[in-house]
Amino acid sequence: MDAIGDFLAAYSTTIAIVGVNALLALSVWVTLYAGQLTLGNAAFMAVGAYVSALLGRHLGLPFPLALLVGAVGSAALAAPLGLTVFRLRGVYLAIATLAFGEVVRVVLLATPITGKGQGLNGIPPKTELWHIFLTLAVAAYVLWRVQGSIVGRAWAAIREDELAAASQGIPVRRYKLTAFVIGALLAGWAGGLSAHVTFSIDPSDFAFTKAVQILVFAVVGGVPSVLGPIFGATLLTSLPELLRPLKDARDIFQGLFLLGVIVYLPRGLVTLAQLRRTRQLREIGATDVA
């Protein structure tokens, strides 16, 4: 037991970040599953992080309530944004959400209450490991149930062929928007949790690189299953720790790994588990990634 205790003590921050990243990967998975490539989740994470930290500091709101307001705030921002940007598809949608992310970052850089470029320091470390992993379990379970429900099937239909889905009477815009708002809610919640792990936040934590990183977690893990993004985030977050002996060559290895997955296992690492059952693989669809 001591060994486990020591391990947890030594690596508790890494373990917390693994959990937060898994939540973030799930947040982008929701839209990917519906076939939509969005890159705004780093910004939603920022909204959750800043709102919860500021509410705790200035209004003394209890931690769970501050987290909730942060997450709901993200979702509330996502709804009108989604209404506007879901007129776009594919690369255009990705670029529009990316631009939104940059706008959020610039607003954070220019607003006095968010500490401008310095960000916020001395955020109390209120997040416990069980907070993160309980949320992760709940989110994964709920999304897994949603995936099998009428909503999940509508998302899959939109992903495979949007026109065909619309002609079946599926309200495409509404389902896309639902996925987007759920994703923002999750990302906002994860942002609040992570701010209370890392002690300090600043706008550069939520830039383009972060948005891409979140996406990579989900894609490497694999979009066909909710377990994919969790697995991808866990692997890619702990990989730098495991690869520590490689030191400077770490990024090179990560890049080659990513390239290998996207070229040889386009539907992500979770498909490894399904390789034995190739017939089923064909059944879950011919298109890769999303």
Partner 1 sequence: MLEQLYNAVFIGSIYALFAVGFALVFSVLDVLNLAHPTTFMLGAFAALFAIATLGLPWYAAIVVALVATGAFGVLLDRVAFAPLRARNAPQLSSMISSLAVTLVVVRLVELRYGGDFIVFPAGAVPSFLIRFGDVTLEGTRLAIIVLSVLVMAVLTYVVRSTRLGRELRALAENPRAARVVGIDVERAIAATFFISSALGGLAGVLLAFAYNSLDSKMGLPLELRAFTVMVVGGMGSLPGAVLGAYVLALGEVASLVYLPAELRDAFAFGLLFLVLIVRPSGLFGQRSVDRA
> Which residues of the shown chain bind partner 1 in the complex (CB under 8 A)?
37, 84-85, 87-92, 94-96, 98-100, 102-103, 106, 109-110, 116-117, 208, 212, 215-216, 219, 248-252, 254-256, 258-259, 262-263, 266, 287-290
Task: Kindly state the smallest distance separating residue 125's Cβ from partner 1, in Å.
Answer: 29
Instruction: Return the number of other C-beta atoms located less than 10 Å from residue 213's C-beta.
Output: 16
103 or 242: CB nearest partner 1: 103
263 or 275: CB nearest partner 1: 263
* DSSP secondary structure, 34-85, as one string: TT-----HHHHHHHHHHHHHHIIIII---HHHHHHHHHHHHHHHHHHHHHHH
Task: Kindly state the smallest distance separating residue 98's Cβ from partner 1, in Å.
Answer: 7
57 or 250: CB nearest partner 1: 250
Task: Kindly state the smallest distance separating residue 256's Cβ from partner 1, in Å.
Answer: 6
66 or 219: CB nearest partner 1: 219
Output the CA–CA distances (angstroms, integers) from residue 30 to 23, 144, 259, in the order listed: 11, 11, 23
129 or 290: CB nearest partner 1: 290
Cβ 70 vs Cβ 51: under 8 Å: yes
Please compute, for residue 149, the number of CA atoms within 13 A of its CA located in the half-sphere on the CB side: 8
21 or 127: CB nearest partner 1: 21
Task: Kindly state the smallest distance separating residue 220's Cβ from partner 1, in Å.
Answer: 9
Output the CA–CA distances (angstroms, integers) from residue 286 to 22, 151, 160, 210, 278, in the order listed: 26, 21, 9, 30, 12
CB-based contacts of 135: which residues, under 8 Å, 6+ apart? 23, 189, 193
Task: Kindly state the smallest distance separating residue 179's Cβ from partner 1, in Å.
Answer: 16
Task: Kindly state the smallest distance separating residue 168's Cβ from partner 1, in Å.
Answer: 17
